[in-house]
Amino acid sequence: MSIEDILQALDDQCREECQEIFARAEQEAKQILERAKGEAEAIRQARMAKVRAEAQSETTSMLYSARLKSKNAVISVKEIVAERAMAEAEKELENLRSRPNYEAVLEGLIKEGLARLGGKVVCHLDPADKELADSILRKQGVDYEVLTDVECLGGAVVSNTEGRVNIINTVEERLNRAREKLRMNVSGILFEEEAKAAVGGG
């Protein structure tokens, strides 16, 4: 075999080996690229999931905050409206004595006090109610004393002679006792439609 043939054979062999090396390198490069793409996609998906989770959390927080503000605003409005309604009720009671049924109201308040006491009673009244109270107490046939030492819109404070037991039945006191219940009733009436809508909306 001539030197030219040997050189040609070596050249051919070198070419084949180079082609194999290039082919393997290309294959490996493709695999590396595919893996890199897969990892990049996984990273992208993870970041997107994190961003979505953060956005969802922020949205939930904002929604909760908005609902809380809305609820507080509604409560505040209810309080204001209920207070106005109570103020109107108190204003109306300022003229209670001028109403035709006031005698019956005062009698009921006095009798309620008498029912819880025995023996002689002391009836503390506003001076404006002295004559009417005298008439009511005489009809009850009880031993009593009337003192005009209370300033009120109506009603009476009935006590025993020692002053240890006091049945406070003034209009103001009765209104204060019923205040929370009245506020709830007023709020319920004023916002009945809102409550129905809330129940209907689930």
| Residue 190, pLDDT score | 63
Going from N- to C-terminal start, the domains of the chain cover: 1-73, 96-179
End-to-end CA, the chain: 98
**Range from 97-101, 106-110, 161-165, 187-191 carrying the lowest mean pLDDT:** 187-191
Q: Which homologous superfamily does the CATH classification assign to the domain defined by 96-179?
A: ATP synthase, E subunit, C-terminal (3.30.2320.30)
Tell me the C-alpha distance between 59 and 51, whole Å: 12
Tell me the C-alpha distance between 24 and 22, whole Å: 6
Q: Is the pLDDT of residue 30 over 90?
A: no
Q: Calculate the CA 177 to chain-centre distance.
A: 23
Q: Are the C-beta atoms of 103 and 136 separated by less than 8 Å?
A: yes
Banded model confidence at residue 132, pLDDT cuts 50, 70, 90: very high
CB contact set of 167 (below 8 Å; sequence gap of 6+):
112, 113, 116, 117, 157, 158, 159
Among candidates 110, 118, 171, which has minimal Cα distance to 136? 110
Average pLDDT of every residue of the chain: 81
Tell me the C-alpha distance between 32 and 36, whole Å: 6
Q: Is the pLDDT of residue 110 over 60?
A: yes
| Residue 136, pLDDT score | 92
Q: Quick check: helix, strand or coil at residue 13?
A: helix
Owner of token pair 């695999």: 31
CA distances from 147 to 84, 121, 131, 150 (A): 34, 11, 11, 8
Banded model confidence at residue 157, pLDDT cuts 50, 70, 90: very high
**Strands of 121-124's sheet, edge to edge?**
144-147, 121-124, 155-160, 166-170
| 105-119: average pLDDT | 89
| Residue 16, pLDDT score | 76
Q: How many CB atoms lie within 10 A of CB 155?
A: 28
Q: Are the C-beta atoms of 157 and 169 separated by less than 8 Å?
A: yes
